[in-house]
Structure 1
Amino acid sequence: MAPQDNPAFPGFAKFIDSVVSARHEDFVRRGLAGTTSADDFSAMVESISNLYAGVEVTHSFVDENGQVFDCVPIESQPALRGSFRAPATPPDAPDAAGPRGTGQGTPVQPQLRSDRLDKFGHAMSCPPGTIAMRRVTLEELTRSGGVQNFHRKYPQGKGRHPRLSPPEEAASGIHKYAHAFQGVDNLGGHDFVNLWDPNVGSEIFSLSQHWYAGGSPLQTVECGSQVYPAKYGTTQPVLFIYWTADGYQNTGCYNLDCSAFVQTNGAWAIGGTLGPVSVSGGAQYELEMSYYLTGGNWWLYLGGTSASNAVGYYPGSLFNGGQLASNAQDIDYGGEVVNNVAWPPMGSGAFAESGWQFAAYQRNVYYFATDNTSQFAKLTGVQSSPNCFTIVVGNAPDPWNEYFFFGGPGGGSCT
């Protein structure tokens, strides 16, 4: 029996059949529907059916945390399907702002490699000309509370940017931050994100990310590492991307969950687990991340800034002639956690003052100026709940350059 024929494996055809035949009353009986009404449930079935309409899956596999990925032709992914346009050609990003010295942490490698096999014996990689789409299920949509909430950065409420709300709201709200920003016209930026796996239990999520933002209503492109068990079904960090064109009100989605991001590089699984993770007092792991706006597209780079490191792009047309169609006005980096009673740890769970090998960091922070040169950032740190989360910004010789440590243990008194 071929691995893909294993009856225990959730094949794509079986998955689609289960979606179109799903009944609200069955989900209610199994305790999976939550507060979702029959009408909302029908909308979720339609949403998933549309996401995969006309998709030809060439290969599927399960990652170590049980998430299923389907390999689809690049031209069949949601952002290109039916458009009859070829994906853009990946460019090189501008040269680094300074010399590229030996890194402090071990580089995190792409998740998808042909030498890795899942528990069914499937190669954890996709054939040439295809990319891995994380499978979106009805169970995930019902956990989020419906289609609209599913596409928001935080289900059951609007998303936030660290500088979108006044300080008093940032201190008292469900979103807590320790971040560092600079107001400057830019075409994106770069740094190395130190990878940890903060313990998120009943709380919502904990992440470390980049924001490039501008305009009113706010527009952003975002990327980073996120622990979000309710979405991904794992307590391990995953690679995520996000965008909004209207201050998180009605536009935006994670990863490839809607028709937005165009992925061109099959080596990375967006929404897939990242690892290994750093060890307190021991080995440190980091992922080099960049966005660069060129040719009208916001290109994402992982593991370097050459064309071969380009993962894909957000088309500038998503921003409808708004600020991010031409450039961003703000670079922002750091941590965010979400809950409404007690907050999860951020970063490693240690305060910024713990420093190297104990606190999480981002280093070698620079931005791409509007003349397509690279400039080291000059960041201002903000810690809205310093009894729970702190940040320390610094500057040192290469390979640190502009950097910061950040994080903290969280808890129930994060005012």
Structure 2
Amino acid sequence: MACRFHFVALLLLLVFFSLSSASASATSGHSSGGNATATATLRPELKQRRIRALLSKLNKPSVKSIESPDGDFIDCVPSHLQPAFDHPKLRGQKPLDPPERPKNYNSTIPGGSRADAVVVQAWHATREVCPEGTVALRRTTERDLLRASSLRRYGRKPARRSTRRDSTSSGHEHAVGYVNSEKYYGAKASVNVWSPRIGDPSEFSLSQIWVLSGSFGNDLNTIEAGWQVSPELYGDSSARFFTYWTTDAYQETGCYNHNCRGFVQTTNKIAIGAAITPESVYNGRQFDITLMIWKDPKHGHWWLELGPGVVVGYWPSGLFTHLAHHARMVQFGGEIFNARPTGSHTATQMGSGHFPGEGFDRAAYFRNLQVVDWDNSIIRASNLKLLADHPGCYDIHGGFNSHWGTYFYYGGPGRNVKCP
């Protein structure tokens, strides 16, 4: 009888511990689940904090703000407070005065000049101007940051993962003319402006000048300027004036426009990142802009002009390694990013979206291609080589004549029967 009693007592004790353990496990499970919920609710809050911190870095106190008809806000920021001067190498400095332009600056190909042309941006329609002593900066909004695939890489091109510029695996595709037989100290060209269709919001299409030095591996230095359409970056399909730079092949340094510290703006008339208007019309009026990048022989900085006549600002030579001295290559042309969202080639267009064979009024072009030589003189870009990564998608044809100097037509529709 006593044995049976002890057995029953032991059994009851085991059941008690079993229930206690289960209860503890359940309590622990609820506690863990509560922590997971708390973590989940913290993530949006953390993202919001990061967004607010980034906006405070990018948007500086302004003395005046202009609301553009296209929804942009242009902030008139005191020139010495712009983002560039947050850079450790530039802190405490003020913008420099523009240097003299290169020799032969006013030389143009007969018939190729557009002396009456004026670069207009959408915000100019308000007829408001930024005061002297300020620079016109496009305001970055929370919506801009929320569209970005990564806050850490906001305002940067998708990284290339290859040592070859024309690598298919990188997603970047080009149709370009280039020179690489000398030391270069700048470049100049006119390009007509379009608004090519973008196949996926994460993709872009641009037309620009590249000034390059270093290898296409890890130490490539580039300076870039032109027009681009990028729904992810700007939230629309307008062609926008942009700048770019990198010192490590697009990996960790550099960015578009003022999205990181570096480019020093000196003008209150042009806002980098703002829409250009008007745009070229297929089989109709063509509108082009003139871009010039040149190295100041005295201080070594790389200056940018958006023609005719507006000096936009400069990239300080201290940002660079190879380009602190000179460029080894200059490229002109188009680039798209192909994310292959459906597994096939993107339908993102380059240039006008039409092949170069269609010619004037229909295809995109670069004309009057020039470079700046060792003597700080502008000369014709001779010995131009043409390269299209995928001619069935985007092609390039060029030549020389007395009207346009060195020129080429380029671009294409992207996905088509020759570009599956």
| TM-score, normalised relative to structure 1 | 0.81
How far does residue 166 in structure 1 lie from its aligned partner after superposition?
5.8
How far does residue 375 in structure 1 lie from its aligned partner after superposition?
2.0
Q: Partner of 1:179 in structure 2?
A: 176
User: Does residue 1:69 correspond to 2:74, yes or no?
Assistant: yes
Q: Partner of 2:189 in structure 1?
A: 191
d(CA) in 2 for partners of 1:275, 1:220: 27
Give the 3 Å change call, closer, same or farther, for CA 187–407 of structure 1 in structure 2. same
Q: Partner of 1:277 in structure 2?
A: 279
Q: Partner of 2:153 in structure 1?
A: 149
Give the 3 Å change call, closer, same or farther, for CA 42–146 of structure 1 in structure 2. farther
Letter in 2 for 1:202: D
Greater shift, 369-378 or 271-280, is seen at 369-378
Say whether the 8 Å CA contact 1:108–1:286 is kept in structure 2: no
Look up the SS of the partner of 1:332 in the other structure: strand
Q: Partner of 2:367 in structure 1?
A: 363
Q: Partner of 1:211 in structure 2?
A: 210
d(CA) in 2 for partners of 1:137, 1:47: 10
Number of positions where the alignment pairs a residue of Structure 1 with one of Structure 2: 363
Q: In the TM superposition, what whole-angstrom CA distance separates every residue of 1:200-225 from its partner, at most 9, and x where no partner exists? A: 24251111111000014100000011
d(CA) in 1 for partners of 2:317, 2:235: 32
d(CA) in 2 for partners of 1:353, 1:76: 48
Give the 3 Å change call, closer, same or farther, for CA 355–142 of structure 1 in structure 2. same
How far does residue 111 in structure 1 lie from its aligned partner after superposition?
2.5
Q: Partner of 1:102 in structure 2?
A: 111
Say whether the 8 Å CA contact 2:264–2:314 is kept in structure 1: yes
Greater C-alpha Rg: 2
Letter in 1 for 2:81: S
Q: Partner of 1:327 in structure 2?
A: 326
The answer to which structure has the higher helix fraction is 2
Look up the SS of the partner of 1:411 in the other structure: coil
How far does residue 89 in structure 1 lie from its aligned partner after superposition?
1.1
d(CA) in 2 for partners of 1:246, 1:97: 35
How far does residue 127 in structure 1 lie from its aligned partner after superposition?
1.3
Give the 3 Å change call, closer, same or farther, for CA 208–38 of structure 1 in structure 2. same
Q: Partner of 1:43 in structure 2?
A: 50
d(CA) in 2 for partners of 1:80, 1:103: 38
Q: Partner of 1:244 in structure 2?
A: 246
Q: Partner of 2:414 in structure 1?
A: 410
User: Does residue 1:88 correspond to 2:90, yes or no?
Assistant: no
Give the 3 Å change call, closer, same or farther, for CA 58–98 of structure 1 in structure 2. closer
Q: Partner of 1:298 in structure 2?
A: 302
Alignment partner for residue 142 of structure 2, among 138, 142, 167? 138
Give the 3 Å change call, closer, same or farther, for CA 277–104 of structure 1 in structure 2. farther
How far does residue 199 in structure 1 lie from its aligned partner after superposition?
1.5
Letter in 1 for 2:97: T
Look up the SS of the partner of 2:196 in the other structure: coil
- Listed as ranges, the gaps of 5+ residues in structure 1 are 1-24, 118-122
Give the 3 Å change call, closer, same or farther, for CA 56–38 of structure 1 in structure 2. closer
Q: Partner of 1:390 in structure 2?
A: 395
How far does residue 310 in structure 1 lie from its aligned partner after superposition?
1.2
Letter in 1 for 2:366: Q
**Between the two proteins, what is the percent identity of the paired residues?**
35
Greater shift, 78-87 or 331-340, is seen at 78-87
Give the 3 Å change call, closer, same or farther, for CA 56–371 of structure 1 in structure 2. same
Give the 3 Å change call, closer, same or farther, for CA 108–175 of structure 1 in structure 2. farther
How far does residue 45 in structure 1 lie from its aligned partner after superposition?
2.4
Matches within 5 A, 1:335-374: 335-341=334-340, 342-374=346-378
Give the 3 Å change call, closer, same or farther, for CA 166–88 of structure 1 in structure 2. closer
| TM-score, normalised relative to structure 2 | 0.80
Matches within 5 A, 1:220-235: 220-235=222-237
Say whether the 8 Å CA contact 1:40–1:146 is kept in structure 2: no
Look up the SS of the partner of 1:387 in the other structure: coil
Q: Partner of 2:8 in structure 1?
A: none
Look up the SS of the partner of 2:154 in the other structure: helix
Say whether the 8 Å CA contact 1:67–1:232 is kept in structure 2: no
Greater shift, 282-291 or 369-378, is seen at 369-378
Q: In the TM superposition, what whole-angstrom CA distance separates every residue of 1:296-343 from its partner, at most 9, and x where no partner exists? A: 211000113xxx521100101111xx1100111100010011122214
Q: In the TM superposition, what whole-angstrom CA distance separates every residue of 1:9-35 from its partner, at most 9, and x where no partner exists? A: xxxxxxxxxxxxxxxx9xx99xxx9xx
How far does residue 173 in structure 1 lie from its aligned partner after superposition?
4.1
Give the 3 Å change call, closer, same or farther, for CA 46–159 of structure 1 in structure 2. farther
Greater shift, 254-263 or 198-207, is seen at 198-207
